[in-house]
Amino acid sequence: MRVFLTGATGFIGSRIIPELRAAGHEVLGLTRSDAGARALEAVGAQVHRGDLEEPDTLRAGADQADAVIHTAFDHDFSNFLANCDKDRRAIEAMGAALKGSNRPLLITSGTGIGNPDSGGPATEDVLNRNHPNPRAASELAGAALLDAGVNIVSMRLPQVHDTAKQGLVSPFIDLSKAKGVVAYIGEGTNRWPAAHVLDVARLYVLAVERSAPGARYHAVAEEGIPVRDIAETVGAGLNLPVISLTPEEAPAHFGWLAMFAGLDLPASSAKTRELLGWTPTGPGLLDDLRRMDYSTVGAGS
């Protein structure tokens, strides 16, 4: 297949490219910069110039492909609601290009959208349209396209990590260093799921190759790690004190991160593993946090 990959130079997308090429696929990678174009050419990918802010460029990329993997997302969480709406528009644009064909569009969201209102781990069978996470807009856009006949597949991500980045844990680390203290809320028993970035990259390829319309997959290696354990590991790495905050104290300390800091988000990947034969083998989140170089935190990337 010729796969149009958004986010091709990003944390996850750059790991998907070698997995796709090893499986015999061509890659058409989205980039908006000369540096991005050079990086894509260096790993054997073709270049498509475009931007999330320009849906027509996304539509043009999808037009040229047998399949689309959409991993691009604006991770400015201080403007999270607007960026989720931007993602909705991007999905709609690419979906319009694929309508009337069986070419798959693999979109990305978060595992929280699979959390049932009744509680318990998120599962692939649940689409919680009432979930407070604005990222639900991505899956709702996908669901509308599925109803219109587009082959939509959804990949839900947990905290995706290596020793350089760890999803929401990375801004949590930056915040802790800036504040001089590592904090969690209450007893810190709320949990975040996680998976190593290389395991996630492999799963994207499996998912786009199967491309069952309407399928939802969970890229989850660890169902739920207590946030207190994350905080204590970060505290040891930064050599900072670790404290508990009340829910009332959390907004002033965490800022925009407060909307996530207290959430209990366990997630299962049992169905994903069964359907795709995916077995994650990478290190766990706490292992990567123990091995990371904390001297580079806040130095930029």
Residue 181 and residue 101 share a domain: no
Edge-to-edge strand ranges of the sheet holding 191-196: 159-161, 191-196, 222-226
Instruction: Indicate which CATH number applies to the domain containing 237.
Output: 3.90.25
Q: Would residue 275 count as lying in a domain? A: no
For residue 135, is pLDDT > 90? no
pLDDT in tens, 73-106: 998 877 888 999 999 999 999 999 999 999 999 9
**What average pLDDT is seen over the chain?**
95
pLDDT in tens, 35-72: 999 999 999 999 999 999 999 999 999 999 999 999 99
pLDDT in tens, 267-295: 999 999 999 999 999 999 999 999 999 98
Residue 81 and residue 174 share a domain: no
Residue 81 and residue 141 share a domain: yes
Residue 173 and residue 128 share a domain: no
Q: How many CB atoms lie within 10 A of CB 108?
A: 25
Confidence of residue 214 (pLDDT cuts 50, 70, 90): very high
Find the DSSP H helices in 148-283.
169-179, 197-210, 227-238, 250-254, 258-261, 270-276
Residue 244 and residue 170 share a domain: yes
Residue 139 and residue 121 share a domain: yes
- Look up tokens 């806040």; give the residue: 298
Token pair of 30, please? 């989205």
Token pair of 220, please? 């989850």
250-263 core/surface letters (b: 16 or more CB in 10 A; e: else): beebbeebbbbbbb
Number of domains forming the structure of the chain: 2
Residue 96 and residue 198 share a domain: yes
Are β-strands 182-185 and 67-70 bridged in parallel, bridged antiparallel, or unpaired?
unpaired
Are β-strands 191-196 and 222-226 bridged in parallel, bridged antiparallel, or unpaired?
antiparallel
Residue 137 and residue 187 share a domain: no
Residue 247 and residue 217 share a domain: no
Confidence of residue 178 (pLDDT cuts 50, 70, 90): very high
pLDDT at res. 291: 97
Q: Would residue 301 count as lying in a domain? A: no
pLDDT in tens, 119-134: 889 999 999 888 778 8
Q: Are 2 and 68 in contact (CB under 8 A)?
A: no
For residue 203, is pLDDT > 70? yes
Please give the Cα distance from 135 to 23 (Å, whole number).
30
Q: Are 168 and 158 in contact (CB under 8 A)?
A: no
Please give the Cα distance from 223 to 208 (Å, whole number).
23
In three-state secondary structure terms, 78 is helix
Please give the Cα distance from 228 to 174 (Å, whole number).
17
pLDDT at res. 298: 65
Residue 55 and residue 199 share a domain: yes
Residue 176 and residue 91 share a domain: no
pLDDT at res. 300: 43
Residue 128 and residue 257 share a domain: no
Q: Would residue 271 count as lying in a domain? A: no
As a residue count, the chain comes to 301
Q: Would residue 278 count as lying in a domain? A: no
> Whole domain around residue 228: which residue ranges?
163-193+224-265+284-296
Q: Would residue 31 count as lying in a domain? A: yes
Please give the Cα distance from 264 to 225 (Å, whole number).
10
Token pair of 263, please? 């959430």
